[in-house]
Structure 1
Amino acid sequence: MKKKYLGITYIVISAFCFALMNMFVRLSGDLPSVQKSFFRNLVALVFAFAILKKDGAWFSGKRENIKYLLVRSAAGTIGILCNFYAVDRMVLSDASMLNKMSPFFVIIFSFFILKEKIKPSQILIVAGAFLGSLLIIKPTPSIFQTPAALIGLLGGLTAGLAYTYVRLLGERGEKGPFIVFIFSSFSCIVTLPFLLFEYHPMNLMQIVFLLLAGLCAAGGQFGITAAYFHAPAREISVYDYSQIIFSAILGFFVFGQIPDVLSWIGYGVICAMAVLMFLYNNRKQEGVS
């Protein structure tokens, strides 16, 4: 029970760190998403390298894992770029909520990639979450003129794909710090050419905000890793949605943002689906035991 409470504490801390990351990304101002992504991943790269050097958790040596590492890295990079694009153009809590569609996309991708069976109840929960996201996106003809919401949803989808491959790589013997290191290196290498050709000059505060965003991202990553070390996902994953509450609070006090009624209903629907999934997984586990 003590480990479960520690797991809950770590995952809530992780959610707060990711909410802070989005806030600092927004505060960094009118900069290209690629430029923001580079600095965010550069800090994570330094942290991951330090942990690898300390623990010696390098590549497993399995050549067949290389392609999975590349897919994970590409999907994660697209996810970050889409998330940052949405954060800059939407209410902070809306962008965070769309990014938090990733756990539901993991279920879908797990069916195709990991060959895990999906129960009818899981399909209904995923469908409910998607309907909740529509309340946030508010699909109208004008959405194609400013597609920030659709890009934010794409970020949640690609993040779900990335997390699925993280799970696959873990099953195939790769260590978490090495996966983070490869992902961060890949993202920095891919975004560097765009950064060099379309670099926007930054003042001191913008640099500080981006470095703080990277620091918070690293804290969020290590927090969620520690959380799942102390307790199984079925018991604590639902608490990851506390990021939406943190984002709404930060958006209100820092940016004066107030989500509309449909967005609040959408938050409620998606969080309700997360709770249902949490209860379903607990019930399923009890049936097995």
Structure 2
Amino acid sequence: MNNKSKAVVYMIISAFCFALMAAMVKLAGNDIPIFEKVFCRNLVSLFIAFGAVKNTQGNLFGKMKNQKYLMARSLCGLAGMITYFYSINKLNLADSAMLNKLSPFFVTIFACMFLKEKLSKIQIPAMIVVFIAALLIIKPKFDLSILPAVVGFISAIIAGGAYTLVRVLKDKENPSVIVFYFSFVSVIGTLPFVIMNYKIPNRAELICLILTGVFAAIAQFALTIAYKYAPASEIAIYNYTNIVFSAIIGFFIFKEMPDVLSIIGGSIVILVAVVVFIYNRTQNKIIYKEALK
């Protein structure tokens, strides 16, 4: 198996484990507060990331000059996770996954706004089509029934900001430091809310909470390994298999079936992502060939 194939396998494992993480969040039930779920998810990652940073003999909290970026990434990540977990609780698993996978398109917007990256010819029409697809999933109404879908959409915007900050930090800090910093801020940030409104979980809920952190940690490390074997531009598209996994898990565990509009909207999101992926890969090959002349 070559490096590209290994990267694809790890990316699919990551997508599957993130879908399982979302399923555990939902299985933990509505009696467990959102902040408690977020706390448990990050507590497991905190210990794993701590060991990873220590193995590299790095500084747990990174370089002083990068503190504002590390803190901003962590706060965005925490806000994105809280809103995402809320949408998981209230929406079908597939719908929450579809909305969450809008985040790469917001990365494109933020990278253009703050990192001065240029938009390709296909990205502007692609984003317009994707936002129309998002409306099909959200199904706007003039009442509070759309709140969970709107929150899910907001989670994608915030996650886009967090991933943009990760791009800023990728050559400045070790990935383990970024994960540890984020996990530490998330645990400290949610701890007061957990103390104020702590719900003692029963055995089934406790298992789900622990597995939320375990599956998230496996997914994160599988993603990291995937990017070591191949560049993101070549394999990121496989992360959209998360939508398929979420739909399958939602059907078999929760007896959920996305409605026609959601299926159309989700299919458009995946299709546009594939088209942009193929276009960017083709353009990169052309640029590479031109550079060799």
- TM bucket normalised to smaller: over 0.9
Structure-2 change in CA distance of 1:259 and 1:19 (3 Å) = same
Q: CA deviation at 1:62?
A: 3.8
Cα separation, 2, equivalents of 1:25 and 1:204: 15
Cα separation, 2, equivalents of 1:233 and 1:62: 25
Which structure 2 residues correspond to residues 128-277 of structure 1 after superposition, within 5 A? 128-142=129-143, 144-171=144-171, 173-277=172-276
Q: Which residue of 1 aligns with 2:20?
A: 20
Question: Which amino acid is the alignment partner of residue 115 of structure 2?
Answer: L
- 1:44 is the counterpart of 2:41: no
Q: Which runs of 5+ in 2 are unaligned?
A: 289-293
Question: Which amino acid is the alignment partner of residue 70 of structure 1?
Answer: M
Cα separation, 1, equivalents of 2:286 and 2:86: 43
Aligned residue pairs total 287
Does the aligned pair in 2 maintain the 1:132–1:270 contact within 8 Å?
yes
Cα separation, 1, equivalents of 2:158 and 2:8: 25
Cα separation, 2, equivalents of 1:91 and 1:145: 14
SS of equivalent to 2:170: helix
Q: Which residue of 1 aligns with 2:291?
A: none
Question: Which amino acid is the alignment partner of residue 204 of structure 2?
Answer: M
Q: Which residue of 2 aligns with 1:4?
A: 4
SS of equivalent to 1:141: coil
Cα separation, 1, equivalents of 2:117 and 2:170: 16
Displaced runs of 4 or more, over 4 A? none
Q: CA deviation at 1:146?
A: 4.6
> TM-score with structure 2 length normalisation?
0.95
Does the aligned pair in 2 maintain the 1:13–1:220 contact within 8 Å?
yes
> TM-score with structure 1 length normalisation?
0.96
Cα separation, 2, equivalents of 1:213 and 1:62: 30
Does the aligned pair in 2 maintain the 1:58–1:175 contact within 8 Å?
no
Which structure 2 residues correspond to residues 82-121 of structure 1 after superposition, within 5 A? 82-121=83-122
Does the aligned pair in 2 maintain the 1:59–1:174 contact within 8 Å?
no
Q: CA deviation at 1:60?
A: 8.5
Q: CA deviation at 1:64?
A: 2.5
Question: Which amino acid is the alignment partner of residue 157 of structure 2?
Answer: L
Does the aligned pair in 1 maintain the 2:61–2:181 contact within 8 Å?
no
Question: Which amino acid is the alignment partner of residue 23 of structure 2?
Answer: M
Does the aligned pair in 1 maintain the 2:45–2:213 contact within 8 Å?
yes
Fraction of identical pairs, as percent: 44
Does the aligned pair in 2 maintain the 1:58–1:178 contact within 8 Å?
yes
Q: CA deviation at 1:124?
A: 1.1
What are the Cα deviations for residues 43-72 of structure 1, in whole angstroms up to 9, with x where unaligned? 010110011112223368642210000100
SS of equivalent to 1:133: helix
What is the root-mean-square deviation of aligned Cα atoms in Å? 1.3
What are the Cα deviations for residues 208-262 of structure 1, in whole angstroms up to 9, with x where unaligned? 1011010000111111111111111121111100000000000000000011111
Q: CA deviation at 1:112?
A: 1.6
Q: Which runs of 5+ in 1 are unaligned?
A: none
